[in-house]
């Protein structure tokens, strides 16, 4: 299973970025948190409009099955993620990607619905 996390830096101990479309970086890993990779979002966040759907496309290109983010995606991005079958979970408070992963494994994150 492939997971994605919106993060503030390219580090598994980085804080989660609560934004979806304008997240600083995307951490991609498997269900055991093996070999995380980081995706640059610079081109997406530089645009004035449409960051959410473009971020959803980036998620799709990496065949992500579970997305963990703070505030959840907006309407257009949420519709795209839903059509792709990506499950979205949100968290509360300030946590790291590693903490978010642990909460997901324990079933403690909130499933996102628009």
Give the per-residue pLDDT at 94. Answer: 94
pLDDT digits (tens, 9 = 90+) for 43-101: 887 777 889 999 999 999 999 999 999 999 999 999 999 999 999 999 999 999 999 99
Q: Of 3.40.50.720, 3.20.20.150, 3.60.150.10, 3.30.420.130, which CATH number belongs to 2-111?
A: 3.30.420.130
Give the per-residue pLDDT at 19. Answer: 93
* pLDDT over 70 (residue 114): no
Structural domain boundaries of the chain?
Answer: 2-111
Count other Cβ atoms within 10 Å, centred on residue 23: 24
Give mean pLDDT, residues 11-34: 93
């Amino acid at each position: 299973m492939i997971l994605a996390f919106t993060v503030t830096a390219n580090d598994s101990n980085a804080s989660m970025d609560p934004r979806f479309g304008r997240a600083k970086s995307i951490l991609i890993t498997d269900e055991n948190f093996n070999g995380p990779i980081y995706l640059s979002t610079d081109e997406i966040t530089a645009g004035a409009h449409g960051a959410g759907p473009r971020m959803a496309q980036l998620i799709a290109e990496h065949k992500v099955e579970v997305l963990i983010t703070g505030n959840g995606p907006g309407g257009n991005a949420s519709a795209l993620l839903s059509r792709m079958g990506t499950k979205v979970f949100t968290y509360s408070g300030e946590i790291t990607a590693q903490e978010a992963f642990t909460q997901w494994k324990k079933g403690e994150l909130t499933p996102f619905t628009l």
